[in-house]
Structures are given as structure tokens and as C-alpha cells.
Amino acid sequence: MRAHSTLTRRLLASTVPVALLLGLGVSPGLADPLIGTKFNSYGLPGGIDTPTAEMLPDATLSATLNYSDLARKNALVFQILPRLTVALRYARFDSQANGVSQSRDYIWDRSFDLRYQFLDENPNGWMPAVAIGLQDFMGTGYYSAEYLVATKTINPRLRVSAGLGWGRLAQSGDIGSPFGDRPGPDEEEGGKPNTDQWFKGDMAPFVSATWQATEKLALTAEYSGDNYACETGIAEDCARDVWLSDKDELKNHINLGASYQWGQNYQLGAYLLGGRQLGLQFSVAMDSSQAPYPSGIEKAPAPVRPRPSPSADPEGWSGAWSADPTAQPAIQKVLSDALDKEGQTLESMSLDANRAEVRIRNRRYMQHSQAIGRTARLMTRALPPSVETLVITTSADGLPTSSVTVRRSDVERLENSEAGQIAAAAQLTDADPRPGNLTFTEGLFPRFSWAVKPYLSTSIFDPDEPFRYEIGAEAVAEYEFTPGLVVSGTVRQRVLGTTEQEGPGSLSAEEYEALDTDYASNGVPRVRSDSRMYSGNDSPTIPRLTLAWYAKPTETVYSRVTVGLLERAYGGASTEVLWWPTNSSLALGAELNRVKKRDFRDVFGFRDYEVTTGHVSAYYQFTDGIRAQLDVGQYLAGDKGATITVERQFANGWRVGAWASKTDLSDEDFGEGSFDKGVSISIPLGWGTGEPSLRRVGGDIRSLSRDGGSKLRVDGRLYDKVRDSQSGQLYQGWGRFWR
């Protein structure tokens, strides 16, 4: 089956969002932000170097590799909100030896951008789309610039943008400094927003035009105030002397470029900067709403079986069957088998003449509503006619979270209707932690599962070696005594790879071992900065081996106790409680851990460093899938502070977030970056394959080498365990109930 029909392609090619076709229907266009298709050298929609006011389609992830003699820029860009674009860039530029960079004559530098489109284009009037942007707004600021830009669609083939830029965009051709002088770049630990520089200093205009020559080919011309001062050795326009290089100066301010759209996802671009420097770039964009198989290719659910009339089955309708002790075991067996085929485990069940409750574990569906919808249909097929009340309780690995109660006649009446109707007919409540009459499915517990498989672990963005990997074999095993009481562990054996054991900073492993300390020279405990010491082990390792007990003491409180080898670097005990009523946007939690640092090589050995770490946490679910989390407490290095996390989760399961931790450790003691922060992205595997699965790909991009603001990485934190079946996320993905 082809991924996109001609119609869809045509709609996309004309940049009409598919939302117009499959959208709100009656309110087309006006409230939509202006969407751009051409990427600039920074990886955002734009001209060549200059920005435009354009956005990407909501939830689009793109990556751009840009190469010229002047720069190498690799950018990851995400449209986090319909009008807010964020960029994370990893760029290489030349630098003279400055005592910090030692032998390297270039720097790989991280930078962040934000762009917000605050005015929509009026397609029928003169009003352009207008956006404000911050480029490289934290830390070093090599590419730092701010801008205000307007973009107008002149005709379907031509778009023109004009704006005012500061910082890099105003290296030359300025028309004054309306907001005062621009202070110099941060030369200390960096990593903090350079608010004192924003919109300060020279201001210069820029203009760009992009002409869509054919459906695939676009030509761009622009006037830019960026004269690449540092790269080409123009000392008076370059913010720091150590950045000066000696490349050929640009002849003028005009840049010309062409880009070729290849399929729906790829774009190839070439451009000429100032009549002198040639550049090439390649972009790949993935719109998370354009899944290859949007509905999934999993098998159809078993249809609802309507009940026979009371006259046709008087015995079934009378409920007399419930007196027969063999009835429930037989029904439970049938239902359990049927659920198993649809990727769910029937953990336990209660059954009386009018009401049935099932406790299910969803092993397959990213949108939990799909698991519930399938269970409801199977219940109509398995249960005697007198059972009218169906209760479907989610068991999150043994934790009963929420219960969906629905009348069987509503399931029969509303089968395959718009999902909102069954949502209105169903009730979502906190699951009763210990109802008296539940019967476990026979043969389920104790449950043992195991697997032996290969693994690949990677580490990127290292300036010495940008990509490191390790391949090996891994055995995982899990033994669940009763629901929620689990022993689990992993054993790994490296086979080959480029990751090596290394000491912190520039120390070798041997040198660090010889120091025989767990503290840095400034007295800060080395809780993460020596994590490379755990790498490159040729003998078997045990990344994790724990006994965990998950429980639900009251209707709204969850608890966890985990003991053992909690993560690669720490072992000990971890405890947690979480208060979260199913229908509440607010959740509160507390975690307390006593851990000891593990030995670098001896799998069961420990080092001398021991610490108590823990947090109190507040979680809040806003609209549009946005959630925020605040943790306050003591971190692994004994430093006290807080972490703020903001994340957006989309109905299809994509998650993108960012966090920052600030503790009482000073910027100097923390070192490079000043405080801990990072971004995370998680993409459901099933989104790409169409096969339903709970698996995800992605990870965190974070500072690996710093000790401040670091948390224990224990598995099975409660919020993540229960979130899928709480009202916020359950209703967000409710549209799949009848899938």
C-alpha cells in the first residue's frame, strides 16, 4: 500500500495542511500558522542564512546537516507547539588555542533557538505572518542573533520575508542600536540564557524571497547582514578574538540558493554566500501526524456480539448461571485466551449475575483506550446476557490504576460510532485497590519471563570521537511472584565496540584509579563525571538487578520499594509514593533513596561514596498534552535544589520535553554549562511500523560529565508507570476506542 495518495500529496504540495481535509472541517485556514517548506542553514524554515516567520507543521521533527568551508552545522528542529519552533544545534567552528581548548583549533558547540509566530498571515489581505526569534540564545553565543521577521505569500509560488536582526544578523549594514550596546559573550561556564545581550547592539535589516520554480525546485535570494566576520577574520565585527579565522571574505551581502525537495521527507540544498563561499545542506523532516499507517495495520477487533432476546435465552438473562461454581472459571479461561490473542493479559476477574470486572494488562497498544475498547467487545462475546455492568480496570504491571465502567447495552448500541459517544457513556474512576471478590487467572502467577538478545549502545556528540558504540549480548529475566512483586535483572557481555574505560576530564582510567578518590579537586563528589569508568568492560556486567514491590495502599496513592543494583553506577534502596486521583490534573509524589556508588568493575562491589537522595514532586497536566513537573530535593552529590521538566505528549504517543536542574552547587563548582539541563524525545516504534507496540525509540540529550543536579536513574518510577491509564492520557488517545 502506498504511503500517500495523489490527493494527499497534492494537498501537501500546495502547503494546504492536511488538517484542512481531515480537520475541523468548517473552520479552514484562518487560525493556522504559516507553514514553511524550505530550510535555512540553521535548520529552521527560512531563506539561506536569514529566518522567515514560517513554522513547520505541528509536531514535525527535522534534522539538517549543513556544510560549507565556513561552518558545519547540524540541527535538530522540532515544532513543539503550532506557533513555537525549537532548535538544538551542534556546530563546528574554528577557534584559536585559548588555553581551554588545548590542541584543538576548532570547537564543537551546542546551541538552542526559539521562534514564535505571533501574528498569522491573512491570505486575503495584506497582513503578513510575523515571528520573533532567538538564535543561539544561551551560553557561548557564537551564532547568537535575535530577529523580528514578517513573511507574506505574494502568490502560490512566491514568498517574501523582511525583518530586523541583531547580533550576528547585524554584523554589517546596521541602521543603529535602538536598545543600547551589546555586551560581550559569556566567557565563564556558559549554559545560561544571555538575556543581557538580547536585542542589544547594532540592528540591521534583512530580506529574502523564495520562488517555487517547480513542485520540487525552489530558488532563494536574500540580503543578509551576517558577513561571517569571525570566520573571515574581520576583527572589528567579531565578538571574541579567539574565534577569528582566516577564510576568504564574502564579496557582498547577497546569498543565492536552490533547494530540491525529494519525496515528502528529504530536501537537498546548495547555495552561494556573498558570491564567494559555496555551501551544501541536507534536511530530513518527519511530520509526526503523517504516520505511514495512521490507523495501524493490526488485525480488526472481534466485533460486539449482541445478546439474544430474553425469550431466546431465559436462563442466561435470569442470572441463575451465577450460582454454578464452574461458570466463572470457564468464562475466565475463554476471556483470558481471547484477550491474550489481542495482546492483553487478564490478570484477574470478578463476576456476578449483573456485573463483571476484569483487570487487564495492556501489552500492545500505545493508545490505552484501544486496549479498553477491545476488552469491552470481547466481554460482550464471553459474558452471559444478564451481565449489564462492565468494569475494565487497568493493571499497570500489577498496579490497579483506573476503572472504566460502561453499560453493556451502550457498548452494543454505540459499536463503531464516533469515539466521543462511548466516552460520554462511560465512567472513569479510581480503581479499588483491593476488591474482595477478584479471582486471579489460573496459571498466571508466579510469572517468569526471560530473553537473550543482542544490544547496541551508542554515545554521540563527543568532541574527541563524535560517535561511540558498543555491541554485545544481553540476558534479561523477570520473575513476578504476585502482581507487583518482581525480581528482575540484566546481564550484559560486550563483544566489540569503540567505547572505552576513561577517567573524568583528561585523566586516563589508570590515573583516576590511582587517585583513589570519589571527589573532584574542588570537593564535589564525582557522581556522574566518572561514568565513563563503567564503560568498556570486557567481562560480564550487571547493569541492573532489583527486587521491586509496587502497591496501591489507597484508592489514590501508589507506592514503590526497589532494592538492589538500581542502575549501572548505584545500588541501594529506593522508595517512592505518589498521590494521583485518576481524574486529577495534579499529582504529588515523594521519593527517598539511600544509595552507594558501585564499583567500576566488580559487579557486586561498591565504592566508598554513599548518599541519601530524594525529592518531593508535583506534576501538572495542562491542555494540549503539555505537562510540567517540579522536583525539589537533594541530588546525588548531596546538592540541594530543584528540577523543572516540561513535556508535550501527543495523542499518537510522541513525547518531547526539556528539563533543567539548579542546585546550591555554584556555577563554578558545577563547571561547564553552569547547571544540568537537557532535552528528551521519545517516538513510539509502532508509529513508524504500523504494528502496534508499546516500544519506544529515542532518548535524552544531556550533559554526561557533570555532577550537580544529578538524579538516581531507578527503573519503574510511579508517574511513568501509571500515566498511560490516568484520565489525561487516556482521554487524549480515546479516539482509538473502536480500533
Partner 1 sequence: MSGTKMRFMLGAAALAMLSACGNVDSDEGSIPGLLAEAARQSVAQRNRTEVAEKVSPSDMAATALRVNKGPLILVGLENAATTQVLAMTGENSGQRTYMTTNEQAIILRDGMLAGTRGLGHDLSVAEMAPSSALIRSGRSGQANRVMRYWTGDGLERPLRLECSIGPGPKAGVILESCKNGPLEIQNNYIVQGGRVTVSRQWIGPDLGYVTIQELRP
Are 458 and 471 spatial neighbours (Cβ–Cβ below 8 Å)?
no
Written as nine digits, the cell of 672 is 561547564
Tell me the closest approach of the beta carbon of residue 101 to partner 1, in angstroms: 4
Tell me the closest approach of the beta carbon of residue 270 to partner 1, in angstroms: 29
How far apart, in whole angstroms, are the C-alpha atoms of residue 151 and residue 146? 16
Q: Which helix (H) or strand (E) holds 560?
A: strand 557-565
Closest CA to 713 of 559, 563, 570, 551: 570
Tell me the closest approach of the beta carbon of residue 223 to partner 1, in angstroms: 30
For partner 1, the closer of residues 18 and 577 by Cβ is 18
How far apart, in whole angstroms, are the C-alpha atoms of residue 611 and residue 595? 6
Tell me the closest approach of the beta carbon of residue 515 to partner 1, in angstroms: 19
Tell me the closest approach of the beta carbon of residue 273 to partner 1, in angstroms: 26
Closest CA to 15 of 156, 123, 119: 156
Torsion angle of the four alpha carbons 508, 514, 520, 521, in this order, in degrees rounded to the nearest 10: -110
For partner 1, the closer of residues 313 and 432 by Cβ is 313
For partner 1, the closer of residues 59 and 229 by Cβ is 59
Are 77 and 51 spatial neighbours (Cβ–Cβ below 8 Å)?
no
Report CA-CA distances (Å) from 527 to 190, 293, 670, 679, 711. 21, 44, 12, 21, 9
Radius of gyration (C-alpha) of the chain in whole angstroms = 29
For partner 1, the closer of residues 117 and 144 by Cβ is 144
Tell me the closest approach of the beta carbon of residue 203 to partner 1, in angstroms: 26
For partner 1, the closer of residues 104 and 251 by Cβ is 104
For partner 1, the closer of residues 11 and 273 by Cβ is 11
For partner 1, the closer of residues 333 and 364 by Cβ is 364
Tell me the closest approach of the beta carbon of residue 610 to partner 1, in angstroms: 25
Written as nine digits, the cell of 383 is 459474558
Report CA-CA distances (Å) from 600 to 503, 525, 546. 11, 16, 18
Tell me the closest approach of the beta carbon of residue 483 to partner 1, in angstroms: 17
How far apart, in whole angstroms, are the C-alpha atoms of residue 645 and residue 406? 35
Tell me the closest approach of the beta carbon of residue 694 to partner 1, in angstroms: 7
Are 513 and 556 spatial neighbours (Cβ–Cβ below 8 Å)?
no
For partner 1, the closer of residues 191 and 657 by Cβ is 191
For partner 1, the closer of residues 240 and 594 by Cβ is 240
535 Cβ contact partners less than 8 Å away, ≥ 6 residues apart: 470, 499, 500, 501, 502
How far apart, in whole angstroms, are the C-alpha atoms of residue 579 and residue 591? 12
3-state secondary structure of 670: helix
For partner 1, the closer of residues 430 and 724 by Cβ is 724
For partner 1, the closer of residues 276 and 364 by Cβ is 364
Closest CA to 89 of 126, 41, 148: 41
For partner 1, the closer of residues 57 and 165 by Cβ is 57
Are 575 and 598 spatial neighbours (Cβ–Cβ below 8 Å)?
no
Are 607 and 518 spatial neighbours (Cβ–Cβ below 8 Å)?
yes
Helix axes 327-341, 368-382, angle to 10 degrees: 140
Give the amino acid at 308: P
Written as nine digits, the cell of 135 is 538564535
Tell me the closest approach of the beta carbon of residue 415 to partner 1, in angstroms: 5
For partner 1, the closer of residues 18 and 320 by Cβ is 18
718 Cβ contact partners less than 8 Å away, ≥ 6 residues apart: 399, 550, 558, 559, 560, 576, 577, 578, 589
Closest CA to 634 of 589, 591, 575: 591
3-state secondary structure of 721: helix
Written as nine digits, the cell of 473 is 549480548
Tell me the closest approach of the beta carbon of residue 243 to partner 1, in angstroms: 12
How far apart, in whole angstroms, are the C-alpha atoms of residue 458 and residue 497? 9
Written as nine digits, the cell of 132 is 520573533
Tell me the closest approach of the beta carbon of residue 224 to partner 1, in angstroms: 25
Tell me the closest approach of the beta carbon of residue 711 to partner 1, in angstroms: 13
